[in-house]
């Protein structure tokens, strides 16, 4: 059965800052252009959108992702057999750290980070394992005018050395090293809004400064962007899918389910160089 027309989508905001659940669509069914456009509009409006009860295998997940752009491969983890763009994000019962368990924007150490990421729940702990999301538009817009002016002249140095502090996967290739400089304040290419673009997972320092010189201001910005009023929290269920805009959000998976398995499929949609 085909999905309903775009007008039938039921979009329900999850929190004041960002996030919405999208009901009334089967992502595994053929989607017409109007429905895809409505989903993209919901993403731009709410920054992260959530779908429930989706029955997608890796091929169907990748096919849905391609409706929004080319897929990019995650450089640090090998994709699953037959689907190199799809990686498995998993924490096993014996592990204590989770994958990417810190506030971050995905792969900011690449010259062209992904525009968006999709995460599909496969196996979940009986309780816990939620994900927090933060609105980085608000993080920028609530800074003082003086701080905004100062930050707009800075560039952040992002690399995999910082992320290595939160390594959690045995199959993560720590031999690879990536580094990229990006503006600390980036302009969203579709909305034109400015967003704070430094993150605790990857930003080591400001370009032209030492780590010691950069640390106090970075620490302030990391605390600032994670304020509760900038965030929403999503409780996963099997078949839940999250689609976030990597250009205007950060996320943090909560590590509160030791002794249980949490298994997800993830894909990334190619983006452009932050400006």
| Segment among 109-113, 161-165, 167-171, 206-210 with least mean pLDDT | 167-171
Contact partners, residue 262, CB within 8 Å, separation at least 6: 90, 91, 98, 123, 124, 125, 129
Report the chain's C-alpha Rg in angstroms: 18
Tokens for 233?
């929290």
Tell me what pLDDT residue 76 has: 86
As a whole-number percent, the residues of the chain with pLDDT over 90 amount to 88
- Architecture of the domain spanning 6-269: 4-Layer Sandwich (3.60)
Helices of type H across the chain: 33-46, 58-65, 136-141, 145-151, 160-163, 211-225
Count the alpha carbons within 13 Å of 12 in the hemisphere toward its beta carbon.
8
Catalytic residue positions, numbered: 104, 106, 251, 266
Contact partners, residue 148, CB within 8 Å, separation at least 6: 140, 185
**174 pLDDT more than 90:** no
Summarised one tens digit per residue, pLDDT across range 218-238 is 999 999 999 999 999 999 999
Candidates 218, 205, 222; CA nearest to 104 is 222
102-131: buried (b, 16+ CB within 10 Å) or exposed (e) per residue? Answer: bbbbbbbbbeebbbbbbbbbbebbeeebeb
pLDDT band at residue 161 under the 50/70/90 scheme: confident
Q: Rounded CA gap, 167 and 213, in Å? A: 26
Average pLDDT in the chain: 93
Summarised one tens digit per residue, pLDDT across range 61-108 is 999 999 999 999 999 899 999 999 999 999 999 999 998 999 999 999
Residue ranges per structural domain of the chain: 6-269
pTM equals 0.93
């Amino acid at each position: 059965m085909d999905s309903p027309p775009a007008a039938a989508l039921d979009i329900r905001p999850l929190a004041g800052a960002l996030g919405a659940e999208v009901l009334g669509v089967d992502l595994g069914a053929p989607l017409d252009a109007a429905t895809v456009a409505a989903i993209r509009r919901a993403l731009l409006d709410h920054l992260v959108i959530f779908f429930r009860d989706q029955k997608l295998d890796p091929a169907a997940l990748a096919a849905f992702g391609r409706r929004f752009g080319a897929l990019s491969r995650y450089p640090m983890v090998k994709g699953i057999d037959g689907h190199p763009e799809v990686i498995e994000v998993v924490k096993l019962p014996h592990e204590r750290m989770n994958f990417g368990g810190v506030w971050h924007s995905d792969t900011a150490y690449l010259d062209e980070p992904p525009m968006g990421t999709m995460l599909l729940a496969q196996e979940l702990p009986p309780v816990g394992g939620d994900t927090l999301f933060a609105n980085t538009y608000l993080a920028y817009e609530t800074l003082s005018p003086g701080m905004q002016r100062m930050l707009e002249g800075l560039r952040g140095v992002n690399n995999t050395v910082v992320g290595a502090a939160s390594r959690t996967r045995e199959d993560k290739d720590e031999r690879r090293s990536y580094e990229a400089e990006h503006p600390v304040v980036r302009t969203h290419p579709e909305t034109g809004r400015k967003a704070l673009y430094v993150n605790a997972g990857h930003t080591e320092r400001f370009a032209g400064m030492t780590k010691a010189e950069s640390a106090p201001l970075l620490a302030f910005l990391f605390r600032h962007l994670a304020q509760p009023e900038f965030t929403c929290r999503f409780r996963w269920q099997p078949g839940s899918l999250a689609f976030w805009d990597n250009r205007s959000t950060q996320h943090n998976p909560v590590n509160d389910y030791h002794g249980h398995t949490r298994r997800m499929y993830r894909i990334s949609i190619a983006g452009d160089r932050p400006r």
